[in-house]
A = this chain, B = another copy of it.
Amino acid sequence: MTDTTDPRLTPLAATLPASVPFVGPEAQERIRGVAFDARLGANELGFGPSPKAIAAMQAETAEIWKYADPESHDLRQALATHHGISPDNIMIGEGIDGLLGYLVRLFINAGDAVVTSEGAYPTFNYHVAGFGGVLHKVPYKGDNEDPLALIEKAREVGAKLIYIANPDNPMGTWHSAATIQQMIGNVPEGALLVLDEAYVEFAPEGTAPAIDTTDARVIRFRTFSKAYGMAGARVGYGISTPEVISAFNKIRNHFGMNRAAQAGALAALNDQPHLAQTLKQVAEARTRIGEIAAENGLTALPSATNFVAIDCGRDGAFAARIVSELGKAGIFIRMPFSDPQNRCIRVSAGPETELDLFAKALPAALKAARV
């Protein structure tokens, strides 16, 4: 893409690269000239959403000539009931990515400090940079984000935002509710903890702290992109106090939601038996990925998500060669960006047929990568 030095841009915009946090699989497919056989790189849910969600979206498509309800009233109401909170505690938006953009805009002025982990979610970093925030990164502790170090760093630099994902992406690891609750309790005055729970439905009981809608020190994000299998629909939500939530109304794109997506998310939420089935499928797929790793002499990390990080035992360059070789063989996977997590490859917990293709392609990819 052409970079631009348009003198009319704001000084901040002029400094930003015209970059993309992730290259999509479609772009890779256009370069390859042929589609991937297995799409296991973006932590999408290959098992798909509830058939009731699909039916609801298809039905609502007949009404697509109407703008969506800017208040997402029905979905917000249903989520409130689901979580046992008030609709005033919930902000629906265009995926967690969209909501993170609004959040950073609300809280970060140029020069403000933000704390995250080295190797955590790049799209959050993209938004922080996009509003001129200054990122301070702390290392993982082993394969986990380090809540204590994040809090300490936030105190040290006077951070306005602190980001943590629980469970973590890209490693799949997780902290207990007690650990996260302790972290919330230690958020410094003037800071807001951004608790990204995109994958929390996949995690064991006891991973998510109880929701406390009176605690303005934390905003939690959930999504229909992962466990509900609707990544392409763009529905996420934030949970916090009414004051933090209502601030989004100052700046958000009020008519930004897709109308069919709203209906689909509502139907997906109402089909909890399907969610239970999904969690079972994903757990089985994680086990299978672990077996495939072991068969190849590699170590799968424990995961509380719909993906598995596989430790390939060498450096990032080695893992990158495996990703590349698998890509040539028609298998789309990704890998962590930062050292030392980038000794791993990251494989989404997909359908058996796709995992079989991965299993089949991995030995040759490893062999080629070892040369």
Contact = CB atoms under 8 A, between A and B. Distances in A.
A247 B57 contact: no
Nearest to A53: B64
Contacts of A57: 58, 61, 64, 260
Contacts of A191: 8
Nearest to A106: B13
Nearest to A62: B54
What is the total number of copies of this protein in its complex?
A: 2
Nearest to A225: B67
A166 B82 CA distance: 46
A190 B9 CA distance: 10
A258 B244 contact: no
A316 interface: no
A212 interface: no
Interface string A39-72: 1001011111100001001101111111111110
A257 B243 contact: no
The 5 lowest CB-CB distance pairs between A and B, nearest first, are A232-B259, A26-B69, A18-B249, A16-B250, A258-B258
Given A8-B160, A18-B250, A26-B73, 10 more contacts: A2-B246, A8-B191, A9-B247, A19-B250, A20-B254, A22-B255, A54-B64, A61-B260, A67-B231, A98-B256
7 contacts: A6-B243, A24-B70, A26-B71, A44-B67, A48-B65, A68-B232, A233-B259
